[in-house]
């Protein structure tokens, strides 16, 4: 199966993970083959890690700049170390003070 076409922003981490699974492998297997820890492969989806990113790109047969254009140039050299922004999480609502008092009284 082919890797999905990357947009100007590159592929998101879920598309990369799906492409690896479609080729019959996993981050753990790629990490073992390249002497890296499994967790490094997951961190490489959030922040640039040249060895791990290169291992993923090599496995998929896609240049680094297509997968992560904001981190790597056309020569495969690191141009930015900025991490991807975290998705905003909504705070979990907590019980009000009065409802906690009612529970204690019961």
Encode pLDDT of 50-103 as tens digits.
Answer: 999 999 999 999 999 888 888 888 888 888 776 666 666 666 666 666 666 676
Domain assignment present for 60: yes
Contact 30, 1 (CB under 8 A): no
The pTM of this model reads 0.69
Q: What is the DSSP string of 61-106?
A: T--HHHH-TTTB-TTS-B---PPPPPPP-PPPP---HHHHHHHHH-
- The span from the CA of 79 to the CA of 39, in Å, is 23
Please give the residue that has the higher pLDDT: either 52 or 11.
52
Contact 104, 97 (CB under 8 A): no
SS3 state at 10 = strand
How many structural domains are present in the chain? Answer: 1
Domain assignment present for 101: no
pLDDT beyond 60 at 38:
yes
Show the domain range for 10: 1-84
CATH number at residue 54: 1.10.260.40
């Amino acid at each position: 199966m082919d890797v999905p076409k990357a947009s100007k922003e590159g592929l998101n981490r879920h598309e990369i993970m799906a492409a690896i699974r479609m080729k019959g492998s996993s981050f753990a297997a790629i990490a073992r083959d390249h002497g890296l820890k499994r967790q490094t492969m997951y961190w490489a989806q959030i922040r640039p890690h040249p060895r791990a990113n290169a291992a993923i790109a090599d496995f998929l047969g896609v240049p680094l700049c297509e997968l992560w254009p904001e981190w790597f140039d056309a020569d495969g050299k690191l141009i930015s170390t900025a991490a991807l922004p975290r998705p905003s999480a909504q705070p979990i609502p907590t019980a009000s003070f009065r409802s906690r008092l009612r529970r204690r009284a019961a």
